[in-house]
Structure 1
Amino acid sequence: MTSDTTRGTDRSFLFVLGSSRPDGNTETLARTAAQQLPAGVPQRWVDLAQLPLPDFQDGRHETVMSNDDEAVGAGLVTTLNHSAAYTRMRFGGVLFGNGSRPGQVRDDERAALRAKTFFQREAPLARFA
């Protein structure tokens, strides 16, 4: 989606909401971050629960991250980075938040602060580590 020539206002963002729960922790944190984007920066929100996909019900607690140690998510971060590198996209990292129960991420003050600055810098072209 992004190439080496993407700069500043040429950015656009696709937010894919994959939870079967409306207003879940991940969506809450993503919307907090997106509110900080400059006016006019294109945002596309896709809610998979609203698409005509085969039925799926998430029977577990939605987890933004249920461990205070962010190193637990290192494997996921590496996978996302390598996927972006393979497709020659930019990758600005992940926005970690802590919460297991719906709405619990609102209690994570560090996540809320990071969400407000998450999109301020241009993401570098992803590279294989």
Structure 2
Amino acid sequence: MSRKFLFLLGSSRTGGNTEALARLAAEQLPTGTEQRWLNLSDLPLPDFEDLRHEGEGNYPAPTGHAATLLDATLEATDLVIASPLYWYSLTTSTKRYLDHWSGWMRVPGVDFKPRMAGRTLWGVTALADSDRSAADPLVGTLNTIASYMKMEWGGVLLGNGSRPGDVLNDIRAQTEAKAFFAPRTPVPPATP
């Protein structure tokens, strides 16, 4: 099966450090690898409404931007969450997208959770702190999501940068980006 990468950009800034780092890593993918880039700011979702305990607990089929994101997510073999570190976690648009997964798992006939099993979840983030452990909550969130969804865990590519372009001065991040998507034995996610 050929790989199809979906890059979900969760920054409120176009062309920021996280996107630059994700694009550097994507440049290393083999020629012909399908890539789709979606900016969550261009596809705003409403706040997630928890309907699990109303009626039969089923959710209606998504429409609009939610349908676009659901379809793109299910078409991907590799899902890359590119979210800058905001207050030690994911950006609001990224978290809102992931919140909608709860509803997608309950849309009759979509079989979202079983269909996501076996795909690979990756993360890319830029943080202003030189102490990479500041990103541990973000890394833990994505790793736990991969485990819960029975996805492979690709890991998180970290880069340091605050002002646009700063991450391009982070030699360690550049080096890691060049090997980030290289074929390797998948890392099993942590058990929640």
Give me the TM-score of the superposition, normalised by structure 1: 0.78
Unpaired segments of 5 or more residues in structure 2?
47-85, 92-124
Distance apart, 1:99 and its partner CA: 0.6
Distance apart, 1:52 and its partner CA: 5.3
Q: Which has the higher strand share?
A: 2
RMSD: 2.3
Cα distance in 2 for partners of 1:10, 1:33 equals 18
The runs of at least 4 consecutive aligned structure 1 residues that moved more than 4 Å come to none
Percent pairwise identity: 51
Aligned match for 1:108, one of 170, 178, 181: 170
Any idea what SS the aligned residue of 1:94 has? Answer: strand
Name the residue aligned to 1:19. Answer: 11
Query: 1:42-61 maps to which residues of 2 (within 5 A)?
Result: 42-51=34-43
Name the residue aligned to 2:24. Answer: 32
Cα distance in 2 for partners of 1:127, 1:88 equals 10
Aligned match for 2:2, one of 10, 14, 23: 10
Query: 1:85-100 maps to which residues of 2 (within 5 A)?
Result: 85-100=147-162
Cα distance in 2 for partners of 1:121, 1:38 equals 10
Q: Which amino acid aligns with 2:178?
A: K
- Structure (1 or 2) with the larger CA radius of gyration: 2
Unpaired segments of 5 or more residues in structure 1?
1-8, 55-59
**Alignment coverage as a number of residue pairs:** 115
Distance apart, 1:35 and its partner CA: 0.4
Contact 1:29 1:105 in 2 (8 A): yes
Note the alpha carbon deviations across 1:6-47, whole angstroms, 9 max, x for none: xxx633211111122211100000000000000122211111
Contact 1:24 1:103 in 2 (8 A): yes
Name the residue aligned to 1:128. Answer: 191
Distance apart, 1:50 and its partner CA: 2.3
